[in-house]
Amino acid sequence: MRTISKEELKELYDKDFPLWVEKNLELLREKAYDLVDWEKLLEEIEDIGLRHLESCISYLAVILEHLYKWDHFRRLTTGGEETGGMGWIKSIENARDEIEALFEVYPSLRKKIPKEMDKAWTFAIPKILKWARDNNLNLSKRDLPKKCPYTYEEAMTRDLRKEV
């Protein structure tokens, strides 16, 4: 195993990631720490730690998107029928359930996600704008709040079924 050079190992990262992982794992098991590709390994560990937080942010963005559409576009009519409604409510409830499931598996996320409201809002904005375009609404980014208009508490607990 020690026949691989640091340079060869670094090249493997882009050429054959699974082999790069395997080789680094072997080096760590052999305690050949001087040969490990520490730079990329630390980046990968950091990415692993962020992956589940990013999932929570993605679900939170869905919640924010549908809350905003509920608050601002629910009463629009298309062909005499109200848009939105139960589909948005179900989407919010499903996203909340997914976040809660992630909290069960990764409890540390419960403290981190409330600090990510503005990031989640950033991801919600393009979805709102796409929905507006698809529904022939004249809406641009400047029409939407720059900061998230909802609190974390509201995003996670507001009961839209009571507002129907």
Which residues pair with residue 82 across a beta bridge?
77
pLDDT score, position 75: 73
> Are residues 56 and 92 in contact, defined by beta-carbon separation less than 8 angstroms?
no
Please report the pLDDT score of residue 164 as a whole number. 79
In degrees, to the nearest 5, what angle opens at C-alpha 17 toward C-alphas 15 and 18?
130
Instruction: Give the Cα separation of 120 and 99 in Å (integer).
Output: 13
Distance CA(118)–CA(135), nearest Å, equals: 25
pLDDT at 6: 87
- Indicate the helix (H) or strand (E) that contains 78: strand 77-78
**What confidence tens digit (pLDDT) does each residue in 50-66 have?**
899 999 999 999 999 99
Q: Check pLDDT > 60 for residue 1.
A: no
What is the predicted pLDDT for the residue at 85? 79
